[in-house]
Structure formats: C-alpha cells, structure tokens
Amino acid sequence: MPFALPRMRFGPFPRFGARPAVHRGDRLMRMGRGRLGIAIGCFIAVYALIGGRLVQYGLTDLDHAGTYGVNDRILAARPDLIDRRGNLLATDIRVPALYGEPRRIIDPDEAVEALASVLPDVDYQDWHRKLSSGAGFVWLRREITPRQQAEVMALGIPGIGFREETRRFYPGGPTAAHIVGLVNIDNAGTAGIEKYVDDQGLGTLQELGLDQSDALEPVRLSIDTGVQHIVRDELVQAMQRYQAIAAGGVILNAKTGEVVAMVSLPDYDPNNPFNALDKDRLNRMSAGTFEMGSTFKAFTTAMALDSGLVTLESRFDARQPIRYGRFTINDFHAKKRILSVPETFIYSSNIATAKMAEVVGIDGHRAFLKRLGLLDRMDTQLPEVAKPLEPAEWKQLNSITISFGHGVSTTPLQTAVAAAALVNGGRLIPPSFLPRTEAEANALATQVIKAETSAMMRYLFRLNAEQGSGRRATVDGFFVGGKTGTAEKVINGRYSDDHRFNAFLAAFPMDDPEYVVLIIIDEPKPEEGQHSATAGLNAAPTVSRIIGRAVPLLGVEPRYDVTRDALLVSY
C-alpha cells in the first residue's frame, strides 16, 4: 500500500519574540511529521536489511560468491501444496548433492576414475574439465541417493563433498500436473501454482536469501484429489477407447467458481518432467484455444432469449440451407422443417441457430460473448492462460458461423466458466484454483444474463439430455443436462470431415446446478461397433462415467423428485 504523505501548509513566519500560539494546524503538522518519521524509519530498516545481505555477499569468498544466491534458493523451503481436504500435492524433501573443490583436488584423473566406480553415467570429459579448472567450487551432480552418498564418502577423495538441497516431491505424480506445475533445478517455480506462489513474493524472498524457514503455511487449493484422479482415469480410458490424440476435462463449482478438478492429456510427471515442454503436453484446458463447436449454441440460444426478441415458443425456418456467397450452411441431422427454440437446441440445428443470432445482430452478438468473457484473456491463478481468437472484423458470415461454434477459438476452461453463468442464475464468476466461499464468489460475480433466461437454459439443457444428443450423459438421480459439440478441425486451412474436436458441456443437478462439467476429446475415432465419432457417442458417455464416480466425493445426494416439467414451470 503506498504511503500517504501528510499535507503541510506553509505561511508567513511568526513575529520574532512573539509567543507562538498553539493551533490545531500546528498539532496536525507535528503529527504529520511524526508519521513521516515512522515511514522513513521503515524504509531505512528495509534497506539496512538488504544492505546487510549485500555486505554478507561481499565478504564471501570470491569463488563461492557466484553460486551463493543459487545455493540460498536451493536450500530455501517452499510451502506445501494441499488439496481442499488437506491431502498433500507437493512438498519439500532433502536430498544430497555432490560438489567438488578443484583447488583441493590432488589428481583430477584419479578423482574422476574413483567417482565413476560408484556413480553411473559419469561424463569423464566434463567432470575432468571441472575438477581441473582451479575454481573454488563446482557442482558435479545434483540429487544423488543416500546410498551413492555413502559410497562416494567411503572413497575418501579430498576436495569432494556433499551439500543438502531441497527437492520438490509430488506424491500424486502426474495426477494434477498441469495445476500444481513445476519447479526447476534451482527450486524456482516455473509453471502452474508453483509459479503463482513465487509470483506472490516467495521468489523474491528466496532470491534475497531471506526465507529458509521450514514453517511456511501450506497453500490450500480448491481441487479435490479424489475427483481429480477420477477425471484423469476416465480421460485416459477415453483416449484409449476412442483412439484420440488428446483429451481434457474440468469440473467447476457453479456457485463459487472453484475448479474442483482439471486434467489435460497427455500430461507429464512433475517428479521427472523431462517431457513437460513437449508441444503435445500443453495444458489444453487453459492454455489451448479451440473452436468449441455446437456447445457454443448454448450461448447463442441464451443470447437470443435474454434479448427478449426470442422466446421458447419462437420458431425458425430450417427447411433450406443458408447460402452466403460461395458458402452453404446446412444441418448435420437436417429436419428440413420449421423448428421451435427447444427443437433447435436438441437437434442442434446450425440453420435455426444462425437465424437466432441474426435476430440479435452482429454488434449485439459480439457484445454478448464479450460480456461472458469468451473473447478476453481469462484472469486466474494459473499463469498458463491463452487469449481467445476472434475475427478482426465481424461480418454477417462471421456471426453466422460463430453462432454454431466456428470462427471463434477460446479455451475450454473459460467455456465452462461462461456456461456456469448460463445455469447458476446468470452470474459470471471468475474461476479460482484456491478455495472460495459462496459469499466471496457473490462479491466477485457479475450478472450477465437475466435469472429467467438462466432458468430457460436449465430447462433446455435437461431437455437435451432426455431427448437430444446428450442422452448418453445422464446419471440416474442426478438430473444431468448438457449440450454436445462436434466440431470439424481446420487441417491445412480447410475444415476436415475426418478430424474432429468433440466436447460435452454438462451441469447437474439441473434444478439447482452445483457443478459444471466440460469434457473434450481431440480427434476421436469411431468406437468398435460404431460408424461415427460424434460427441454424443464419446464425450457424453465419458461425462456420465465421471459424474457417476465423482458424486459421492462431491457430496451430491441422488434425488428422484424433479422432472423436466418442473424445470419449465420454474421460470
């Protein structure tokens, strides 16, 4: 918080010899000077502390000074990361590291030969160069085992020593890799929540050597390790079952914005992240942008209903394809008749959805998506967040294709966040990977659609799960609703029939949604016995399996007293 300097007024000096009168302004001036003195004292104390450290570095042996800062950071503790139930996600362990003091090495050849007798993969040339350098200190190998340490110690080589380092350990391995993130070999956070923690000030403190305490408070995350494991396990099976190149999923609390689970596959093991930077290990859920296909029809429908220009009873002519220049817009499962809004939704009609968007207009269409945060970079704790892509200029054809999910690329996570607003009463809540109460979420929420519109969307989502393409997503007793999205991918500049990006956007229970679930499957192939690979055939049943396994951990009780008609009456 910036310091506020006291206001001081300057006027004519009092006459010489006159007794100064004590006025209220003088007292305020003295008070202001006192506060200014305290502020100056604080600055001096902080700079004295930093100066003391600099003097300490200055007095350090020159050969060691080059590695002093790094060593401080290596030894510095990091706070544990725990899930919402207190289960450990990341912690510090101490491991020995091997170093050499070349000035004390008597015979580098003999030293390297001896070390190679107990350590595997010794780089003779590199180690010989280091031990012959005449330097005061060189690292030879970071993170050796206690047994290796004992064997090297038994060699008794002068100038060879050990130092304990802090190493990060992730008990769950790859289970939550893209959320917890990574630290590098110098113990600095480089991705995920680990980087977020450093960016909150820990990194600066460690670089200054001011924080080597083992008593740091753990950082509690919003995710549930059990649910996280279920989502990852089902996605691994889905990738195998549908021979997909990638998959991802997120479970979001619709009332608080907390991310309960989020997985992107392929992933990596943060304990051995040799492949973490591979292109296909990208966190697709927040750092990848995709055309989300027909799941976007939910936003188009909500926009039209919220405008007041369209009602559930409105009808749109889907008998003929839309022709625009050299482009023809058709339906995947064409009904070739006039469709009501509910029919448009459950039959996923491109033609009727595009005509709904026309009612609102191009400017209104873009403004609505922007209001839902689908066109702007999402703000959350994870550093790995991509900016959505949209046309530089929205024209009529852009609005038509965007209405059914082509032409705008956005991240799956922010698609789920926007979808939560469609079903939770119309409140857009920023996502959080840290725990948040409902009251805290309400303070951050923005009303983006009417509550009545949200009620109509809950009805449509449930209707689609009962009669439309989402039938395979249902779970008895939990009133799952949702929308499928089967999008053709752009390959070599053209939409390809053979490469699909499938998604299923779900929420449950639909009378009062507590959770939003979004699953994506990239380039799935038809399952054995199927002739197609639509989202209704692969993403929807994956959602069903995840919800069926996760509800006991999420604390959602089964109920059998809600019908679709009750949802319709509720608005």
Helix (H) or strand (E) holding 168: strand 160-169
The tokens 């003097």 sit on which residue? 55
- What the block records as the tokens of 363 is 């400017």
Neighbours of 396 (CB within 10 A): 14
Residue type, 224: D
Helix axes 362-371, 297-307, angle to 10 degrees: 110
Distance CA 77, CA 203 (A): 11
Alpha helices in 132-251 (DSSP H): 146-155, 177-180, 192-197, 203-207, 225-241
Can you say how many angstroms the Cα of residue 298 is from the centroid of all Cα atoms in its chain?
Answer: 23
Distance CA 92, CA 351 (A): 57
Distance CA 477, CA 85 (A): 26
283 torsion bin: left (phi>0), alpha (psi -120 to 50), beta (else): beta
Alpha helices in 430-530 (DSSP H): 438-444, 451-467
- Find residue 508's DSSP bridge partners: 515
Nearest 10 degrees: Cα torsion 398, 399, 405, 407:
20
Q: List, in sequence order, every beta strand (DSSP E) within 64-109.
A: 81-82, 88-100
Distance CA 294, CA 354 (A): 12
Active site (annotated) includes residue 294: yes
Could you give the maximum distance between any two Cα atoms of the chain, in Å? 108
Distance CA 373, CA 175 (A): 28
Question: From the candidates 222, 264, 286, 294, which is the catalytic residue?
Answer: 294
Active site residues: 294
